[in-house]
Amino acid sequence: MDRRAFLSLSGAAGTVAAGPGWAATPETATPARRVAPDPVPTALALPNLTLWTHENKKVRLYDDLLKDKIFLINMFFVACTDGQCPLITANLARVQPLIGERLGRDIFMYSISLNPVMDTPESLHAYVKHFNVRPGWLFLTGDKDKPDEIEHLRKALGYWDPDPELDKDKTTHIGLVRVGNEPVDRWTSAPTLAEPREIARMLSYVDWPKGWTGRRHRAA
């Protein structure tokens, strides 16, 4: 796989890949874990940056949200110019009951704003009220004074286009949900507007061992 395709799985249903590990960046990243012999470039390392939730709580991406968890990540705007983000959020809300009681226990959902300057914790809180958001699904934004951090994260998650002109259009980066199992570096993706059962099926591909919890997994 081209190293630039880290987590960018072209949206192919059923595609599963083992990630190359959490490569360190100088200021924000967690020390590397399971780094591949030929690691991805530093520019595509996943940063352990600070985010704020729709409940106005400060969290670290890796330490608090991803470590020892299975998760779904998508990126969105509160003020979506083409109206797609509300449709996507409503569709992902239909995935929640398919996860069941594991949502918020060992499977989590994260929706991260692409516009930290405009999308404050307060605006995220107002946005969430329009949807059936259950515990275990967080809406997140970055530091409004450091928008480049979200740009780094966007590219690290694979939400980018090699054509600079296309990449400037941020609305092109909302069409996929990334699905990951951090302890075993297992990844896949699905279209955000796919049938909820299809998204849940993609989730099942990274759910290994089946039904694990962080504690049981570590004990094994």
- Residues within the annotated binding site for Cu cation? 80, 85
Question: DSSP readout, 3-26?
Answer: GGGTT--TT-TT-EEE-------T
Q: Which residues, in sequence order, are CB contacts of 196 under 8 Å at separation 6+?
A: 91, 92, 94, 95, 98
- Distance CA(161)–CA(184), nearest Å, equals 27
Beta bridge partners of 176: 191
- Distance CA(220)–CA(212), nearest Å, equals 10
List, as residue ranges, the binding site: 80, 85
Beta bridge partners of 143: none
